[in-house]
Chain A
Amino acid sequence: MRKITYAEAINEALHQIIAKDTRAFLIGQGVTSPWYVGSTTIGLIDRFGSKRIIDTPTSENAITGVALGAALAGMHPIMCYPRMDFMHYAMDQIANHIANWHYMFGGQLSVPVTIWSIINRGGEQAAQHSQALQAIFMHIPGLKIVVPSTPYDAKGLLVASIEEDNPVIYIDDRWLYQHEGEVPEELYSVPIGKGIIRREGEDVTVVATSYMVYEAIMASESLDKEGVYVEVVDLRSLKPLDENLLLTSVKKTGRLVVVDGGWKTCGVAAEVSARVAESDIFRSLRAPIIRVSLPDTPAPASSALEKAYYPNAEKIISAVKKILEM
């Protein structure tokens, strides 16, 4: 099959879905900018025009409300945040409004909005240009959350998000944008709420999402050479979470390392750990669960500190060895 990059896969999904679905349109700050959203929006403005590719002022909260209102009037907005950090501005419209609108009115009004939010970090960008906020949104009822790790899923989950009747927070990571992978040319979707085993193994389950899947695979390849076989579980969706896949894997290996690119306290890894701890599988665990995530500190600027800050294959290898008491 043809190989394209993660960024190209997003671009292709946007082109195909906006061409196919007259309800779909892209809105957000920087969607026509030559540099803001990587190469993911190339060609959209020329093809679809400024009525459907709407670059906006920096009014994150209002524009998010605009997306909600357009959805209520029958459109399917794709709201883009070129950096997740700015979503804090829009927490009111996301948490108070979008997430509640279906439940609060007894199910009569649905909100098919795709919130495309981009993790953009590293390069000494520091605390306000580095955040990975998936856990915050995971906490709020009424939002679905997807976190694709491969070009195939980047396209398929974006299409699935836009085909959804509910708000979906689609979180990608600029560190993945140049990764290549097999991607079908036609339009397809990847089901929301279904995880996937990236590598099979018997000794330890390593659960990861988004960019951390890539680091987990590198770790497992290296551990192979030492005779340690890691099963890499890519959740792909954080909400709903594929608990069945998670528990089946942990039952098989008896050991769990959870890797997440967000902060440790109340993070994704905490939730995944709790799901296992609450299940019957807990009794068959052969070692305590280990979390590999960001420490509870803001992102530092200095490259020297960044190296220590972000989880990577090396830290995953250490965690796996610790859980195996190697």
Chain B
Amino acid sequence: MNGKEQSSLALDVPTDVLRKMYATMVKIRVFEEKVAELLLPPKKELITPCHLYIGQEAVATGVCSALKKDDYAFSTHRSHGHFIAKGGNIRTLMAELYCKKTGCSKGKGGSMHVASSEIGLLGSSAIVGGTIPIAVGAALAFSMQQKDAVSVVFFGDGAASEGIFYESLNFASLKKAPVIFVCENNLYCTHLPVSACLADTNIYKKSESFGIPGIRVDGNNVMEVYKVAKTAVEDARCGKGPTLIECMTYRWRGHVGPYDDLDKGLRSKEELDYWMNRCPIKMLERFLLEHDIMSKLEMDQIRKTISEEVEEAVNFARESPYPDENDLLHDVFKTR
């Protein structure tokens, strides 16, 4: 039951999973770099506030690779990575960032509110910790319906300062709900370091008092994330209840927007360099090359294909219409 630190490198992840995870991480990276470019002045093509996922790709990818399509995932304001990792269509994601009618939320959600029922991403909330109980509720429903589906919620380290996190852990444990709590600890809650927010920064230990196993993993090592998530998902599926996974990671850009925010004095260049050296994609690349799982040529090819897909998504979004003024009053309620 006690939380334990995981450090061993996963060697037993199937190669097809590794290849797929590589492509997903590159897709997130290329997509987000493109978004960063589109946010920059003078053009500022994107207006909606974007919280970029660059640097954290291994978390969404590792966790979502352990899920089935019917499993539910819930996201946060930093939502793009989860949307892509769960299998979302990047054309509708990009269109949503342009707030166009063809966006996944029809231009009504923007960057912080993406969802796609087809892929089991049932929403993302900009209220810190907001989707945690929602994931518990979906999990509770799965047990009531005797389905073997599970529910996963992603949240940041900031959510560990919200009361709803603890309320949700308690209730999930009481009901042995098939839910996996995934904390993406990127060391900063907006501008404040996690040590200024939490009296005890070991977030994975917080679940102990609720009888939920808590595990801390290297969130930049996709194989470790995948392995831990897979065990947690299997446990949840067979009625063993929830797990809390704390993924230690780092966002390369600022809390919101395209800049690294070094000039604002909120973090040091050394710290950023340290984490950029531990780039989750580079780490996986090294592993794949060392073990002859993929060649450099294949990797380049994947990156090229994805870059084209992203460009295509941008064109699709640019050419898409804005919502009509008549759409303003629609969708407040579901009508039959």
Contact = CB atoms under 8 A, between A and B. Distances in A.
B167 interface: yes
Contacts of A279: none
B108 A69 contact: no
B140 A61 contact: no
Given A65-B130, A97-B127, A105-B115, A72 B72 contact: yes
A72 B138 CA distance: 7
Interface of B: 72, 74, 103-109, 113-117, 122-123, 125, 127, 130-142, 144-145, 151, 163-164, 167-168, 170-171, 174, 330-334, 336
A69 B137 contact: yes
Contacts of A61: 133, 163-164, 167
A29 to B, nearest CB: 11
Contacts of B72: 72-73
A109 B137 CA distance: 15
A59 to B, nearest CB: 4
B144 A59 contact: no
Contacts, number: 152
A106 B334 contact: no
Interface in A98-126: 101-110
Nearest to B133: A65
Listed residue (A93, A104, A110) with the most chain B CB atoms within 10 angstroms of its CB: A104
Nearest to A68: B134
A64 B133 contact: yes
A107 B334 contact: yes
Nearest to B153: A69
A72 B113 CA distance: 16
Listed residue (A67, A68, A110) with the most chain B CB atoms within 10 angstroms of its CB: A68
A111 to B, nearest CB: 8
Interface residues of A, number: 41
Interface string A55-68: 01101011111111
Interface in A65-111: 65-75, 77, 92-93, 96-97, 101-110
B134 A107 contact: no
A141 B133 CA distance: 22
Interface string A193-224: 00000000000000000000000000000000
Contacts of A261: none
Contacts of B113: 104-105
A105 B127 contact: no
Listed residue (B117, B127, B133) with the most chain A CB atoms within 10 angstroms of its CB: B133
Contacts of A107: 106, 330-331, 334
B123 A166 contact: no
13 contacts: A25-B144, A62-B164, A62-B170, A64-B133, A68-B137, A69-B133, A69-B137, A70-B137, A70-B140, A72-B138, A103-B331, A105-B113, A106-B107
